[in-house]
Amino acid sequence: MNANSSEPTDVTAADARELLVDLVSIPSPTGEEREAAKRLVDFFEAHDREVWIDAVGNVRAPADDAVLLTSHIDTVPGDIPVEVEATGDDEILWGRGSVDATGPLAAMAAAAVRTGVSFVGVVGEEIDSKGSRYLVDDREEPPDAVVNGEPSGADGITLGYRGLIAGTYVATSESGHTSRPDPNAIQHAVRWWSAVEDRFEGDEYEPVFEQVTTKPVDIEGGVSADGLSVEATMDVQLRVPPALTVGTVREAAEAELEVGTVTWKDKVPPVMMSPRTAVARAFRVAIRKEGGDPRLVRKTGTSDMNIYAGAWDCPMVTYGPGNSDLDHAPDERLPLSEFDQSVAILERVARTLSED
């Protein structure tokens, strides 16, 4: 262990469940994570761990950097009444964040205390990854390995995410009678985006993970306030598979641009980790020992793992309890038996990596 190490302390299954229910009960949409962060701080302090809230709101509990367990504190908005429902021989926790990603967050906090490894709860993942971006800039050195917390199911090991590039297209044209044949700014916007969609149209047999997918997320247009021009603004996103780079996708989209301008932002590179790293091997062994059948997962979205992989040259995976089909859903819920199993798996993984 390094100089910031903390001795492992006991966290019972009941303690871990209590933390989970408390965190799910505290609303923590992006930008409003402070109260949930304080609950995490209380949890670590109660187990004699060094912990603080940093300049952007991340909860930092440094210790053995053989592995960093990290997940995000924020959730998307949505009021789902928090309830623990008894069903058969299990209990189901209902509530916003139970899956994405308060379940993984609480499981990692419990495992970090049990094993004495490093932990960070980050803010802002659902919007701009503010917390993870700050973390990679603020740390002097990377950890030896990273486990990022997102729902994969107790037996799932996520190795890859597509990247993301987002942009805003803007065009202006002279106003005129709508009977004129010349295209206006709105038509220019639609034509550009249609050309981009055509350029990246995937084969029906090609897995989505290996495709560039295109999505307009907002569009505004019409005659300007002074009546002298037609204006159009379109916000767009393109998902980038690991076989390509953000730069090549950007260049291809710009090649279709004839009128107007596009400003790019949120350039997040794709990531694909090897299944043969020490972290992936540790998870396969741990999942089997806890009665599961390991699955290797590739996700079509983007996560903080993309940020870590772009900054740190170390092995990593994403893992956590929960069915990702319930991310952001109005019926978000998590079986508590799966949560318990995930805590046990994370504990085994952390101990294995600390001993290597």
Q: Which residues are catalytic?
A: 74, 125
- DSSP per-residue letters across 269-293: --EE--TTSHHHHHHHHHHHHTT--
Q: Could you tell me if 236 and 167 are in contact, meaning their C-beta atoms sit under 8 angstroms apart?
A: yes
CA atoms of 51 and 62, how far apart (whole Å): 7
Burial label, 318 (beta-carbon count in 10 A; 0-12, 13-18, 19+): buried
| Residue 75 backbone phi and psi in degrees, to 5 | -125, 170
Specify the pairing of strand 295-299 against strand 156-161.
parallel
Which tokens is 205 given? Answer: 């047999």
Burial label, 121 (beta-carbon count in 10 A; 0-12, 13-18, 19+): buried
Torsion, CA 55, CA 61, CA 63, CA 69, rounded to 10: -100
For residue 185, cis peptide bond before it (omega within 30 degrees of 0): no
